[in-house]
Amino acid sequence: MLTFTEELVLLLNDEDGAPLPIRQDIVACALAGAVLMDLAFAYRIDTDLEALFVNDPTPTGKPTLDRILERIAARTEVCDAKMWIGTLSVEEAPSIHEQTLASLVESGILTVQESRLPWIRFRRYPSSDGKTAKELRQHVADVLTSDEIPDPRDVALISLLDACEILPDIFPRQEIEDFRPRIALLRKMDLIGREVAGAIAEIERSIIQAVRARAAQFKKLLLILSIAAGVAAFATLVAPRFPVADRFSALYFERLWFDGSWQLWSGFALLGLSGAGVLAVLLLKLRAIARLGGFNWWRLAHVGFGIACVLALFAHTGFRLGTSLNAALMGCFLAVLVLGGLAGVCTNAAGQLRKWGIKPKQRVIPIRVHIVALVPLPALLIIHIIAVYLY
């Protein structure tokens, strides 16, 4: 029988064996929680009001679980489940993931496929028999759709996935919305044996707290940066032109905006930053590189590139909007940046916006307009570059 950790790792990959686009910190929390649940179901650990402690230090026979069990047993200070989730998710999650994948490969459930790009190595773990992962996903879906009383392990696994908010990454979002009443019911049902129920509940609570804390931390940062990007872009639109010095000895800024060679460099910097911003989003969408630093970092990079674009735009134009095609390009660029900032606000302040009565459908509008505004940008940008080189 597969452990929670193994089932979770199987569910974290898509059918081709590539990692699903799930935030890395959440995956780390889920892995830490899965290991603790495995140990709880094996009666090796338990919790009380203050601490998570070892019941039985006997090895389980699973190297990953035993290593963690040893570590918990070796700890002399009193630590609760929340602290262990935090510690394991930061210090042990990558090795848990690697070891579990290796174990699944060893047991013949997964195979390894490697592909290389010039600088990046991709590794995929497709199912060797084409069945196990598929059947597991189908089994979870069956539990969520049927009215039958499920196995306690299934309830624990679903609770873990729900606590980590990764069910929408595994199943289509619409289906999850349909599953919601059933998930709520399963979590209310007292199906897990009394011996481990307390520990599992405590682990779940700890995971929820950890996931929310980390998400809140990043959301706050992303929100601040999104507001900064949007406001800076809007300021570029409405701010008066940076004045031109009327003294020859103070021509630094004037050269920045009116000297062709300076403009060339700032223009290419702007082009590079814009490309990097788009690339960051494409990397977010590409599952194969989901493990390159985690999704939050790519989102952060995307917003960071947006802010850098506003700065480069200032260096390139000095708040000058240009004329004709240049004005169209500037308008398009600023629209993308302002709407990007707004989209960032809508994404990262969803809770607050929900309180203000703004519905999810309304919250995605800025994201969609942000993308639509991007449509003419490549053409305008390339035309601008061609015109500069032609004239």
Length of the chain: 391
Q: Nearer Cβ to another protein, position 204 or 254? A: 254
**Contacts to another protein from residues 7-66, by CB under 8 A:** none
43/253 with CB nearer another protein: 253
The CB-of-336 to another protein minimum distance in angstroms stands at: 15
Q: What is the DSSP letter of 46?
A: E
Q: Using DSSP, state whether 23 is helix, strand or coil.
A: coil
d(CA 172, CA 327): 42
324 is a site residue for another protein (CB under 8 A): yes
386 binds another protein (CB under 8 A): yes
- Taking CB under 8 A as the criterion, the residue among 180, 220, 241, 285 binding another protein is 241
Classify 136 as helix, strand or coil.
helix
Binding window for another protein (CB under 8 A); candidates: 101-109, 222-230, 256-264, 293-301: 256-264
Applying CB under 8 A, among 112, 231, 239, 244 the residue interacting with another protein is: 244
**Residues 6+ positions from 325 with CB-CB distance below 8 Å:** 380, 383, 384, 387
Note whether 325 binds another protein by CB under 8 A. Answer: yes
Is residue 318 within 8 Å of residue 310, measured between CB atoms?
no
Closest to 109 (Cα-Cα) out of 10, 8, 31: 10
Residue of 48, 134, 258, 360 that binds another protein (CB under 8 A): 258
Instruction: For residue 205, give the amino acid letter.
Output: R
* Residue in 165, 254, 309, 340 binding another protein, rule: CB under 8 A: 254
Q: CB-wise, 19 or 318, nearer to another protein?
A: 318
- Is 173 a binding residue for another protein by CB under 8 A? The answer is no
Give the relative orientation of helices 295-317 and 324-348 as an angle to the nearest 10 degrees: 150
In the bound complex, what is the minimum distance in angstroms from residue 277's beta carbon to another protein? 17
Interaction mask 73-112, another protein, x per CB under 8 A? ----------------------------------------
- Choose one: 30-38, 104-112, 139-147, 382-390; the region binding another protein (CB under 8 A): 382-390
Q: Quick check: 174 binds another protein (CB under 8 A)? A: no
Query: What is residue 95's three-state secondary structure?
Result: helix
The residue count for binding another protein (CB under 8 A) is 31
For position 387 contacting another protein by CB under 8 A, the verdict is yes
Could you tell me which of 74, 31, 28, 72 has the C-alpha nearest to residue 52? Answer: 72
Instruction: Establish if 237 lies at the interface with another protein (CB under 8 A).
Output: no
Q: At what angle do helices 295-317 and 24-41 cross, to 10 degrees?
A: 170
Whether residue 385 contacts residue 272, with contact meaning beta carbons closer than 8 Å, is answered with no
- With beta carbons less than 8 A apart as the criterion, state whether 325 and 383 touch: yes
| Min dist. Cβ of residue 386 to another protein (A) | 6
Range 56-92 burial, b when 16+ CB lie within 10 A, else e: eeeebebebbbebbeebeebeeebbbbbbbbebbeeb
- Of 286 and 353, nearer to another protein (C-beta) is 286
Q: Is 275 in the site for another protein (CB under 8 A)?
A: no
Shortest Cβ 245–another protein spacing (Å): 6
Q: Could you give the 3-state DSSP secondary structure of residue 328?
A: helix
184 in contact with another protein (CB under 8 A): no
Cα Rg of the chain (Å, integer): 26
CB nearer another protein, residue 114 or residue 246: 246
**DSSP-H helix ranges across 251-323:** 252-258, 260-285, 295-317
**By CB under 8 A, residue 247 contacts another protein:** yes
Stretch of 95-103, 114-122, 223-231, 375-383 contacting another protein, by CB under 8 A: 375-383
**From 20-28, 165-173, 239-247, 295-303, span contacting another protein (CB under 8 A):** 239-247
For another protein, the closer of residues 194 and 247 by Cβ is 247
- CA distance linking residue 151 with residue 161, whole number of Å: 16
From residue 87, alpha-carbon distances to 36, 269, 295, 301, 338 in Å are 12, 41, 21, 26, 39
Q: Which is nearer to another protein, 112 or 388 (CB)?
A: 388
Q: Which DSSP symbol is given to 294?
A: -
**Residues contributing to the site for another protein (CB under 8 A):** 241, 244-251, 254, 258, 260-261, 264, 320, 322-326, 375-376, 378-379, 382-383, 386-387, 389-391
